[in-house]
Amino acid sequence: MARCPSCGAHRDEGDDYCPVCGETLTEVQLSEATEEPWYERPGTMLVLVLFFWPAALYGVHKTGQWTHPSNRWILGGCLLMAIVWVVLL
């Protein structure tokens, strides 16, 4: 268990503030995830195109950049997978 550098009180490792004195800790751990959203990760979009292409289309819609070159590849892959699914079913 760590201690507050200001008052010396015990605190948890993930605390942003000291629970006793309210001092902001020097190594603040962010409470929220700060990574990019799922629809901007290339690996996630590739998996979605291959296995669940409607979700990949939704991801392209969320970015709002339909004509971006990387999104053209996603749209083409979704079209190809839709054709494959129609042929297989």
Number of separate domains in the chain = 2
Q: Is the pLDDT of residue 80 over 50?
A: yes
On whether the CB atoms of residues 63 and 40 are closer than 8 A, the answer is yes
Rounded Cα–Cα distance for residues 16 and 12 (Å)? 9
* Least confident piece of the model among 17-21, 25-29, 42-46, 73-77: 25-29
Query: Is 57 in the same domain as 29?
Result: no
44 lies in the same domain as 84:
yes
78 with 46, same domain?
Answer: yes
Helix, strand or coil for residue 84? helix
**Structural domain span for residue 11:** 1-34
Q: Does the pLDDT at position 45 exceed 70?
A: yes
Asked if residue 28 has pLDDT above 50, the reply is: no
What pTM, to 2 d.p., does this model score?
0.51
Residues 26 and 62 in one domain: no
Note whether 76 and 61 are same-domain residues.
yes
Whether residue 77 has pLDDT greater than 80: yes
